[in-house]
Amino acid sequence: MDLYLLRHAIAVVRGAPGVERDSDRPLSEKGDAKMRQIARGMKALGLSFDLIVTSPYLRARQTAEIVAAEFGAEKKMELSPHLALDGDPAELLDELRSQHASVESVLLVGHEPYLSELVSVLISGDERTEVLMKKGGLCKLAVEDLAYGQCATLEWLMAPRQLTRIG
C-alpha cells in the first residue's frame, strides 16, 4: 500500500473573530490558495488515491476537499475521529486494515504532531524519530502489512514549497 500523509494548510489563528473552538478554525485565504497550488503539484506528480481519510477538524476537511476536488475524488473521502489531534493512531490503522484492506493508495489528512509521530512509528517502531511536516507538506510511505509499529519505508517527504513549484 502507498500511504500518503498530508498536513493541513495554513489556518486562521487561534482566537480569530467568530471562531470559538480550535476544531472550527478554517483555512486562511492564503492557506486555501496555497493548498490549491499544492494539490495541482500533487496531481502533476501523477499521484492517485483510492481513499482520502481526513480529520474532522475544519481546516483538515477543507484541505482534503481541495485535494479531492483536484483529483475528482470527492466520493472517496471519509472522516475519521482517529485523525483528530486527540485521535488514536492505532485505532486509525485498525480501521484502515479492517474496512479498507483492498485499497492500494490512501491519503491521510491531519495535524501535527500527530502525523510526524505516526510517520516515526511506522518507519522506526517508536515516536522518537524526528520528522518535520510543514503545513501543506506531504509524505509517502510504502507499507507491506499495515500495523501500529515498524511496517513502512519512507519513500519521500516534500515541503509545500516543492509541491507548489511542481504545479
| pLDDT tens digits, 58-101 | 999 999 999 999 999 999 999 999 999 999 999 999 999 999 98
Flag whether pLDDT at 27 surpasses 90: yes
pLDDT recorded at residue 101: 86
**38 has a pLDDT exceeding 90:** yes
- pLDDT the model gives residue 16: 87
Percent of the chain with pLDDT over 70: 100
Number of domains in the chain: 1
Which residue's C-alpha cell is 486562511? 28
Q: What is the pLDDT of residue 155?
A: 98
What is the spatial distance between Cα 51 and Cα 71, in angstroms, rounded to a whole number?
A: 11
Residue 107: pLDDT over 90: yes
Whether pTM > 0.75 for this model: the answer is: yes
Which CATH number covers residue 41?
3.40.50.1240
Question: Which among 98, 96, 102, 101 has a CA at the least distance from the CA of 78?
Answer: 96
Give the domain range for residue 114. Answer: 2-166
What per-residue confidence (pLDDT) applies to 17? 87
- Report pLDDT for 51: 98
Burial 98-126 (b: 16+ CB within 10 A, else e): eeeeeeebbbbbbbbebbbbbbbbbbeee
